[in-house]
């Protein structure tokens, strides 16, 4: 009789231990799940901090997306995206005799559809992003000219994308203190962000006809 009671007690003890392990495991996994959920929500909120708009050009048959903080302008056959900051300085001092700007452009890209197959007399490399595949060439003074991208379009046309090089933020000039002041301005776009935004915009570009 005593042996039976002892055996029963052991079974109860084992059962209690199993239950405790199961409950503890549940809370541990639940805690990790909540922690992961919080991280995912936080990451999502950060990624949605910049909203994108869609621009459609029905005349030339193309569209692309761009961050809403960029200003879009249309002029004849050209469409440009730019971002400026209030700043007392000069974006380019390679030409001499310049007057200080009241604000500085830290991002500028222009799109234009040209008739015929157009290309640069020389190229610096190939560029491919999304549906676009073409070549690029740096034109002008280093850090102060433009980088032009040529993409062939069906119907003997060429998409010309002109990207303004921002010398003051390029690191070419010995102006680390000046760059620091500029980048402390809210919404400033640094050199690395400039490249990322440019690539993202071109990755969304597509022809609609």
Helix or strand (DSSP H, E) at 144: none
Q: Is the pLDDT of residue 98 over 50?
A: no
**Six-digit token pair at 205?**
């570009």
**Domain covering 52-207 in this structure, CATH number:** 2.60.120
For 30, the 3-state DSSP assignment is helix
Q: 42 or 85, which is more confident? A: 85
Give the model's confidence band at 54: pLDDT under 50 very low, under 70 low, under 90 confident, else very high. very high
Give the model's confidence band at 84: pLDDT under 50 very low, under 70 low, under 90 confident, else very high. confident
Q: What is the pLDDT of residue 37?
A: 34
Give the model's confidence band at 106: pLDDT under 50 very low, under 70 low, under 90 confident, else very high. confident
Q: 3 or 132, which is more confident? A: 132
16-30: buried (b, 16+ CB within 10 Å) or exposed (e) per residue?
eeeeeeeeeeeeeee
Cβ count near 150 (within 10 Å):
19
Give the model's confidence band at 168: pLDDT under 50 very low, under 70 low, under 90 confident, else very high. low
Give the model's confidence band at 139: pLDDT under 50 very low, under 70 low, under 90 confident, else very high. confident
Q: What is the pLDDT of residue 151?
A: 97
Q: What is the pTM of this model?
A: 0.66
List, in sequence order, every residue forming a beta bridge with 149; answer none if it has no partner.
136, 161
Q: Report d(CA 187, CA 105) in Å as an integer.
A: 12
Which of 64-78, 100-114, 132-146, 171-185 shows the lowest mean pLDDT across its residues?
171-185
Going by C-alpha positions, the residue among 173, 163, 178 that lies closest to residue 87 is: 178
Q: Report d(CA 166, CA 164) in Å as an integer.
A: 6
* Averaged confidence pLDDT in the chain: 75
Q: 65 or 25, which is more confident? A: 65
Give the model's confidence band at 76: pLDDT under 50 very low, under 70 low, under 90 confident, else very high. confident
Kindly provide the residue ranges of all beta strands, DSSP E only, lying in 30-187, ordered along the sequence. 52-57, 62-67, 71-75, 78-89, 101-115, 125-129, 132-139, 146-153, 157-164
Q: 30 or 132, which is more confident? A: 132
């Amino acid at each position: 009789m005593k042996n039976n009671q002892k055996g029963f007690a052991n079974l109860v003890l084992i059962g209690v231990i199993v239950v405790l392990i199961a409950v503890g495991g549940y809370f541990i996994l639940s805690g990790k799940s909540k922690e992961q959920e919080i991280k995912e929500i936080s990451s999502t909120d950060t990624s949605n901090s910049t909203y994108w708009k869609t621009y459609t050009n029905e005349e030339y048959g193309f569209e692309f997306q761009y961050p809403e903080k960029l200003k879009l302008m249309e002029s004849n056959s050209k469409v440009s995206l730019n971002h400026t900051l209030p700043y007392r300085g000069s974006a380019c001092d390679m030409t001499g005799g310049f007057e200080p700007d009241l604000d500085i452009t830290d991002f500028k890209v222009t799109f234009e559809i040209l008739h015929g197959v157009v290309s640069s007399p020389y190229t610096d490399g190939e560029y491919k992003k999304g549906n676009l595949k073409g070549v690029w060439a740096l034109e002008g003074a280093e850090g102060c000219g433009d980088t032009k991208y040529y993409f062939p379009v069906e119907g003997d046309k060429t998409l010309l994308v002109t990207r303004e090089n921002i010398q003051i933020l390029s690191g070419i000039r010995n102006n680390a203190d000046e760059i620091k002041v500029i980048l402390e301005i809210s919404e400033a776009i640094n050199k690395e962000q400039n490249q990322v935004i440019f690539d993202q915009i071109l990755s969304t570009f597509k022809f609609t006809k």
